[in-house]
Chains A and B, each alone.
Chain A
Amino acid sequence: MNLSISYNRYHRQIRLKELGEEGQRKLLNAKVLVVGAGGLGCPALQYLAGAGVGNIGIIDDDTISLDNLHRQILFQTADIGKVKSIAAKKSLQALNPEINITAYPDHLNTANCIDLFQHYNIIIDGTDNFATRYMVNDACVITGKPLVFGAVSRFEGQVTVFNAKDKNGNLSVNYRDLFPEPPKNGEVLNCAETGVLGVLPGLIGTMQAAETIKLITEIGEPLINKMLSVDILHNSFFEMELVPDKKSKEKIPADRSAFEKMNYEWLCGNYDDVKEINMTSFKQLVNTPGVIVIDVREEGELPLANEFPNIKMPLSTIAQHLGAIKEETVIFFCQAGMRSQQAAHLLHQYEKNQSKIYSLAGGIQQWIAEKKLGTYG
């Protein structure tokens, strides 16, 4: 691409003396892969496309839903049901037709991850679950790619750059240096369970785009060996220095073939001993003798579940109360059906399969959604 043709488009940033024409040329030659076109991916993509990053890949096989739109700014109401990566490409190409954008409407897995990453210089993590985050981290270490990490929870976000060269040319820390082992499913709540203010991933995703631009153009001080934590409720920014942890190396698969054998879903405790129950079966069982329904949400979580009999047993302290459960059928529920799986797993381990244990799929949110649709009379 002839840079002079696009001079007008990028005029305001070429005028920055730190960036200049040389920086713009680096952007146009860069290859950036964004994993996940969601709350973080959308704003990151928008600014990278606007800035003229010449080659952008987007991998996401998820489809757009109404409850995505408060934060996933590349999509319109009319896009509901479309595949995110393809809709994002269309939106970005309209913004900047002069760059190459590739949509991969695929599920990222250990079989396709390494090959895909090798086509790009920088990977951006815009995912929403630990299984994929650990897989992306490990694949970046194996392929030697810098990873621009962002994550959110309620009103707080984290941004950092993993596995990039520091000033001395040494590789910086990666996610395993902070958290060598992934949390189990339900140990840390996701956005569906805790909620998130739409502008938060907007802010964090935009900062990921800024870090990416700094890495490509080699200006400023990217968050290498540093993590920035942002709290938008109190306008506080906290930066901490990250240091390598020797346990990290043992946890990362040594090479491609070891990586391909990893089961990241299992590592994150997507338990195989847990039976989920759907709303129809739940409805049939809920008022039956010998059945107990247990709310494992913490104190104060809304909405209250008062439309069917249940008792409260918060997950944070459930281990001490498992002995009190005597019923032959036990149904756990929580906000979105993640923590209840962990509770079901704990009870299974505790009583060695004496009772029928279920986790309500989709949790109380699914109950409310089906009620609104009039599924129940």
Chain B
Amino acid sequence: MIKVLFFGQLTDITGATSVEIPLAADTDELLKNLSEKYPALNSAKFVVAVNKKQINANTALDLQSTIVLMPPFSGG
């Protein structure tokens, strides 16, 4: 299992600030699995971080990886 953390209004979709899901080989596969489990993630906007670092392309994962989905906030 691998830990995924959700911030902001993404927690409305997942119902939790973190979920454990089966390990995926890379972030593309992980995001596909996540959006099957939570279809509303498909229309949500977020940036992905692996081990506290933003990623802009598909990234390999291992059991120690921590994944974060961070949405934009607009309020002020």
The chain A residues found within 8 Å of chain B, CB to CB, are 36, 38-41, 125-130, 133, 150-154, 156-158, 177-179, 183, 187-191, 194, 196, 201, 227, 229, 231, 234, 238-243, 245-247, 298, 316-317, 319
Given contact pairs A41-B76, A152-B76, enumerate 16 new A-B contacts (beta carbons under 8 Å).
A36-B76, A128-B76, A130-B72, A151-B72, A153-B74, A178-B72, A229-B70, A231-B7, A234-B17, A238-B68, A240-B49, A240-B54, A240-B68, A243-B55, A316-B13, A316-B40
Q: Residue on B with the closest CB to A178? A: B47
The chain B residues found within 8 Å of chain A, CB to CB, are 5, 7-9, 12-13, 17, 39-40, 43-45, 47, 49, 52-56, 68, 70-76
- Name 20 interchain pairs, CB-CB below 8 A, sorted by A: A126-B76, A151-B75, A152-B73, A153-B8, A154-B8, A157-B73, A183-B45, A187-B45, A188-B73, A188-B74, A190-B74, A227-B70, A238-B68, A240-B49, A240-B52, A241-B53, A243-B56, A246-B56, A298-B12, A317-B40
CB distance from A221 to the nearest CB of B (A): 16
Q: Residue on B with the closest CB to A187? A: B45
- Name the B residues within 8 Å of A227 (CB-CB): 70
**A238–B71 alpha-carbon span in the complex (Å):** 14
Q: Residue on B with the closest CB to A195? A: B75
CB distance from B27 to the nearest CB of A (A): 14
Ordered nearest first, which 9 A-B pairs have the shortest CB separation? A151-B73, A191-B75, A128-B76, A316-B40, A153-B73, A241-B53, A152-B75, A40-B76, A245-B56
- Name the A residues within 8 Å of B73 (CB-CB): 151-153, 156-158, 188
A150 touches B76 (CB 8 A): yes
Q: Which of B7, B47, B53, B76 makes the CB contact (< 8 A) with A39?
A: B76
CB distance from B18 to the nearest CB of A (A): 11
* Interface of chain A, main secondary structure: mixed
**A240–B5 alpha-carbon span in the complex (Å):** 12
CB distance from A232 to the nearest CB of B (A): 13
**A178–B54 alpha-carbon span in the complex (Å):** 8
With A178-B47, A240-B54 in contact, is A38–B76 under 8 Å at CB? yes
**A133–B76 alpha-carbon span in the complex (Å):** 10
A241 touches B52 (CB 8 A): yes
Q: Residue on B with the closest CB to A152? A: B75
- Name the A residues within 8 Å of B76 (CB-CB): 36, 38-41, 125-128, 150-152, 191, 201
Q: Residue on B with the closest CB to A248? A: B56
CB distance from B34 to the nearest CB of A (A): 15
Q: Residue on A with the closest CB to B49? A: A240
**A111–B48 alpha-carbon span in the complex (Å):** 34
Q: Residue on B with the closest CB to A204? A: B76
Q: Residue on A with the closest CB to B12? A: A298
B74 touches A243 (CB 8 A): no
B74 touches A239 (CB 8 A): no
